[in-house]
């Protein structure tokens, strides 16, 4: 849960400055706002920040949230780019503050159908664009890509969910079907991460950008869920959903691609047909593959970069209050 302690910590850790804010507006295409900020000058921004309370200083906490999102975008981009092209992000797209790490694993998937290959290619290009956009937005405050594991993490997730046996292995790059299941492990998580962060973002420009990314991630998740159903992979997909639910807190709100009665469930929503949200801590529980409060594991063996680094404890809430 983002509380006063988090915001204090985010302020302490953030490297955002006036130049970074101008870069964000430029990346978002808000030329007028960028020019206005430039005209004000850094001295005014510094004065305003010094006078603001932690709760009021949304620009700094917003940057911390976007850096958290960037860690997730690094993961998704590396997965999809390697699956489609056999290579990940360019060196120029992974630098920044905090330790930079390598990517373990990843290779071209032997796609059988042009349709799935086309979907994977489009998603890969989208995720690369998300990384580029967030890096441009954050400027000098950008965190580097942390160490990412695309080998043992998937096997651990598959074992925990029962997709493979306790000694089995799972390679998401081995087949078209495995690729879809691998993508499903974290696609829904991206949607819930942006939904959970939305109430915490105070800048309308930041919020608009995050909403745009959320919409694209939802499209991605929807098409992956649809193709899992088309290929008859409902049973392993539902096991993955149950495993995510076991990691992210006491509530049962992660939904598989079919309901308990067997009906198609391509859009996971609550009773009001609204998407679910997860707190940043609960997102980390899932990508760390651990229900406890830790700071590394799973897809991020050395942890994530930035100021939001710890997962939630078993009793904390799943979604934002």
d(CA 237, CA 224): 10
| Residues 59-84, mean pLDDT to the nearest whole number | 90
| Residues 8-16, mean pLDDT to the nearest whole number | 39
160 pLDDT exceeds 80?
A: yes
23 pLDDT exceeds 80?
A: no
Kindly write down the DSSP assignment for every residue of 92-158, as one continuous string: GGS--BS----EE---------HHHHHHHHHHHHHHHHHHHHHHHHHGGGPBPP--EESSHHHHHHH
58 pLDDT exceeds 80?
A: no
- For the domain spanning 4-16+60-287, the CATH number is 1.20.1260
Q: What is the DSSP letter of 313?
A: P
- Is residue 246 very low, low, confident or very high in pLDDT (cuts 50, 70, 90)? low
pLDDT of residue 13: 41
Which residue ranges make up each domain of the chain? 4-16+60-287
1 pLDDT exceeds 90?
A: no
Q: Note whether 178 and 108 are within 8 A (CB).
A: no
14: left (phi over 0), alpha (psi -120 to 50) or beta: beta
d(CA 269, CA 256): 11
pTM exceeds 0.85: no
Q: What is the DSSP letter of 314?
A: T
d(CA 91, CA 127): 16
pLDDT of residue 234: 83
301 pLDDT exceeds 70?
A: yes
Q: Helix, strand, or coil here: 269?
A: strand
Q: What is the DSSP letter of 46?
A: H
286 pLDDT exceeds 80?
A: yes
Q: What percent of the chain has pLDDT over 70?
A: 71
| Residues 149-154, mean pLDDT to the nearest whole number | 96
pLDDT single digits (tens) 194-205? 888 888 888 888
pLDDT of residue 274: 72
| Cβ count near 301 (within 10 Å) | 16
284 pLDDT exceeds 70?
A: yes
pLDDT of residue 186: 85
Stronger pLDDT, 248 or 83, i.e. the higher one: 83
| Residues 29-53, mean pLDDT to the nearest whole number | 33
d(CA 226, CA 237): 11
30 pLDDT exceeds 60?
A: no
Range with top average pLDDT, 23-27, 124-128, 137-141, 270-274:
124-128
Q: Note whether 81 and 31 are within 8 A (CB).
A: no
- Can you state the angle between helices 18-28 and 114-138, rounded to 10 degrees? 150
Stronger pLDDT, 200 or 147, i.e. the higher one: 147
pLDDT of residue 205: 86
* Mean per-residue pLDDT of the chain: 78
d(CA 215, CA 248): 22
Stronger pLDDT, 198 or 86, i.e. the higher one: 86
């Amino acid at each position: 849960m983002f509380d006063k302690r988090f915001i204090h910590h985010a302020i302490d850790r953030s490297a955002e400055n006036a130049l970074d804010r101008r870069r964000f507006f430029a990346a978002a295409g808000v030329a007028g706002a960028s020019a206005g900020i430039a005209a004000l000058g850094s001295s005014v921004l510094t004065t305003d920040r010094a006078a603001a309370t932690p709760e009021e200083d949304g620009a700094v906490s917003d940057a911390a949230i976007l850096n958290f999102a960037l860690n997730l975008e690094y993961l998704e981009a590396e997965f999809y780019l390697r699956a489609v092209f056999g290579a990940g992000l360019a060196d120029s797209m992974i630098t920044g503050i905090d330790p930079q790490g390598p990517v373990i694993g990843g290779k071209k998937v032997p796609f059988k159908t042009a349709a799935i290959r086309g979907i994977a290619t489009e998603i890969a290009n989208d995720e690369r664009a998300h990384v580029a956009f967030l890096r441009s937005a954050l400027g000098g405050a950008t965190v580097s890509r942390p160490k990412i594991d695309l080998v043992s993490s998937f096997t651990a997730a598959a074992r925990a969910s029962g997709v493979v046996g306790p000694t089995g292995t799972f390679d998401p790059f081995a087949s078209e079907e495995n690729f879809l299941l691998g993508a499903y492990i974290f696609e829904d998580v991206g949607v819930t991460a942006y939904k959970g962060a939305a109430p915490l973002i105070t800048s309308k420009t930041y919020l608009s950008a995050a909403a745009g990314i959320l919409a694209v991630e939802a499209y991605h998740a929807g098409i992956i869920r649809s193709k899992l159903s088309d290929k008859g992979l409902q049973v392993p997909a539902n096991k993955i959903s149950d495993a995510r639910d076991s990691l992210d807190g006491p509530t049962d709100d992660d939904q598989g691609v079919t309901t308990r009665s067997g009906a198609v469930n391509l859009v996971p929503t609550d009773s009001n047909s609204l998407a679910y949200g997860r707190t940043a801590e609960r997102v980390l529980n899932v990508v760390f593959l651990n229900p406890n409060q830790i700071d590394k594991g799973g897809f991020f063996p050395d942890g994530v970069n930035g100021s939001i680094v710890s997962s939630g404890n078993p009793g904390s809430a799943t979604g934002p209050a």
